[in-house]
Amino acid sequence: MTSWYLYLIRSQDNRLYTGITTDVQRRFAEHQAGKGAKALRGRGTLILVFSQLIGSRSQALRIEYQIKQLSKTQKERLVSQEANLEDLIVGLQG
């Protein structure tokens, strides 16, 4: 079974992009080369600020969607480790 990761990338204009992949470093290099998501193209310097092993692809897709529903403040709490992923996801579900 392939392991999937959730990751967040900060762009130069301080936006946070959320994605999933099986290889975080490869995917980040693709984003840096302008071959990743259109949302990051032309956004200047990119910084990988968070990654976490999730498990299966279906779990990763579900959690990616939930993270994308969070506010910028909540995502910043995740990046700064003031909150963990489980707490934020539980907060969405209940």
What are 17-66's pLDDT values in tens digits? 999 999 999 999 999 988 878 888 888 899 999 999 999 999 999 999 99
Per-residue pLDDT, 40: 86
| Residue 31, domain extent | 4-93
Per-residue pLDDT, 94: 45
DSSP assignment of 4-30: EEEEEEE-TTS-EEEEEES-HHHHHHH
Per-residue pLDDT, 36: 78
Q: Where are the alpha helices (DSSP H) in the chain?
A: 24-32, 57-68, 72-79, 85-93
Q: How many structural domains compose the chain?
A: 1
| CATH number of the domain bearing residue 33 | 3.40.1440
The pair of three-digit structure tokens given for residue 46, joined into one six-digit string: 């990119």
